[in-house]
């Protein structure tokens, strides 16, 4: 079982590491320019796409869960139909995003307020990056299908290709051609289409023979589409709560409510500190992705003994990773931070808040693993309920009480409580959400 976990987790870890590295490189490129506004622009611009793409992440998560269960039952035609429905939905949504890009931009910058220079730079970033939407959503469906078919190596190659190309393009556009956030956005668009092309080529090479089972009539079956959308509706609500928390965190970072050293400086501090959380999250997500594939497969095969054993081993691996990152950040975190920026004001203002990133791994790894297990179990309703409790009854009340008293410390403490609440609520719900779905 450990071999199965590692066969799925290691490729995901390798590919996922490239994702925070991309964010770190973007921040580092902006952090070495002459103004804090460049960091703020990337933070605000990325925030909009977090809303869009994290919210639409159900295309990947739902696809992997349904595909894994169909594969566990050895229902090959249904695995093809799951993929076909996901691609259809991805196409429709991506076209809507392109058609409605102007209203989305106007609404986004009505909600997300920042300094005038930051907003102007972020708008330019948005107008370029939005054109990557079809490639991004197409990748969601393809990568979810690959993972559901118990293949983590193909997503690894796709993501590494896209992210390495993105880093290279961003470096050339910013450092060589003298572009700012618009160069980072253009690099992202080029890289996403390259990644989508690689994913299509992999599908054609390894899975095209399955298309003999494809049927338009089966793809658009109303009951199957409704079932797919209902589970994904709950995953969407869950994900939007997550995006709202991260967006609120960024928006408050630019507010005078948490300011101790200037609005732009605190926004830059929190944006850079959050990269430590993102780096850990994408690594532990490698095991969460393994949990998606294995829990979906064992539930589909009605193998309770294998399901229980896989979950126990996943949590042993998760504990070890959390301890490793806590020690890493404790020993070398401040050195890593200095690599991200050489701005003395940002470095000085970050010192009082650094201990929050040290404890994040220990309080959050359980939530990541349960996310993967619940996705594989297609337990969307329980995921949604756990997230609503953690968002509405924990995070926002904690910030309202502590934000005014502790400023930026209150904001970080509310975030820590939010992650801890997710871990506890899903642990309590796991009996009915996961274990009760198998009898064998």
pLDDT in tens, 373-427: 999 898 889 999 999 999 999 999 999 998 778 888 889 999 999 999 999 999 9
- Cα 69 to Cα 123, 142, 376: the distances in Å are 42, 16, 8
What pLDDT score does 287 carry? 92
> And the tokens for 319?
């504990």
Residue 208 sits in which domain range? 2-437
Task: Give the pLDDT score at 33.
Answer: 64
For residue 268, what pLDDT is reported?
A: 77
- How do the residues of the chain divide into helix, strand and coil, expressed in percent and rounded to 5? 90, 0, 10
Residue 396's alpha-carbon distances to 249, 393, 406, 410, 418, in angstroms, are: 10, 7, 15, 11, 9
The reported pLDDT for the residue numbered 261 is 46
**Residue owning tokens 């589970």:** 231
- Could you write out the DSSP letters of every residue in 181-221? HHHHHHHHHHHHHHHHHHHHHHHHHHHGGGGGG--HHHHT-
Q: CA 314 to CA 374: how far, in whole Å?
A: 13
Q: How far apart are CA 396 and CA 161, in angstroms?
A: 38
Number of domains in the chain: 1
pLDDT at 337: 74
Those residues with Cβ within 8 angstroms of residue 357's Cβ, 6 or more apart along the chain or in another chain: 273, 276, 277, 329, 333
**CB count, 10 Å around CB of 432?**
11
- Percent pLDDT > 70 in the chain is 91
Residue segments in the chain with a per-residue pLDDT below the cut of 50: 260-262
């Amino acid at each position: 079982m450990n071999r199965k976990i590692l066969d799925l987790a290691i490729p995901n870890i390798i590919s996922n590491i490239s994702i925070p590295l991309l964010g770190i490189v973007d921040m580092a490129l902006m952090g070495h320019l002459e103004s804090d506004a460049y960091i703020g622009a990337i933070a605000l611009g990325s925030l909009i796409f977090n809303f869009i793409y994290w919210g639409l992440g159900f295309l990947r998560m739902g696809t992997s869960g349904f595909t894994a269960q169909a594969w566990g039952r050895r229902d090959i035609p249904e695995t093809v139909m799951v993929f076909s429905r996901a691609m259809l939905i991805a196409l429709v949504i991506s076209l809507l995003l392109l058609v409605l890009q102007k209203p989305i931009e106007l609404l986004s910058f009505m909600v997300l307020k920042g300094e005038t220079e930051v907003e102007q730079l972020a708008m330019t970033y948005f107008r370029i990056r939005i054109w990557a939407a079809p490639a991004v959503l197409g990748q969601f469906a393809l990568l979810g299908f690959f993972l559901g078919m118990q293949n983590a190596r193909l997503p690894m190659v796709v993501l590494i290709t896209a992210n390495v190309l993105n880093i290279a393009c961003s470096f050339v556009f910013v450092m060589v051609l003298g572009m700012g956030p618009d160069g980072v956005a253009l690099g992202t668009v080029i890289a996403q289409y390259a990644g989508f092309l690689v994913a299509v080529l992999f599908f054609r090479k390894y899975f095209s023979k399955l298309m003999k089972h494809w049927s338009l009539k089966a793809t658009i079956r109303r009951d199957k589409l409704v079932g797919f959308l209902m589970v994904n509706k709950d995953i969407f609500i869950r994900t939007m709560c997550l995006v709202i928390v991260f967006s609120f965190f960024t928006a408050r970072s630019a507010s005078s409510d948490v300011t101790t050293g200037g609005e732009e400086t605190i926004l830059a501090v929190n944006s850079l500190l959050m990269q430590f959380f993102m780096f850990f999250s994408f690594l532990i997500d490698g095991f969460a992705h393994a949990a998606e594939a294995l829990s979906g497969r064992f539930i589909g095969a009605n193998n309770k003994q294998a399901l229980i054993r896989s979950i126990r081993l996943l949590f042993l691996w998760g504990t070890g990773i959390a301890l490793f990152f806590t020690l890493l950040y404790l020993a070398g975190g401040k050195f890593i931070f200095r690599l991200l920026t050489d701005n003395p004001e940002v470095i000085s203002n970050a010192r009082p808040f650094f201990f929050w990133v040290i404890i994040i791994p220990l309080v959050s790894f359980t939530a990541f693993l349960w996310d993967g297990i619940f996705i594989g179990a297609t337990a969307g309703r329980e995921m949604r309920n756990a997230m609503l409790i953690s968002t509405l009854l924990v995070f926002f009340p904690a910030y309202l009480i502590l934000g005014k008293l502790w400023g930026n410390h209150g904001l970080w403490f509310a975030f820590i409580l939010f992650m801890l609440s997710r871990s506890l609520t899903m642990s309590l719900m796991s009996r009915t959400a996961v274990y009760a779905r198998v009898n064998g």
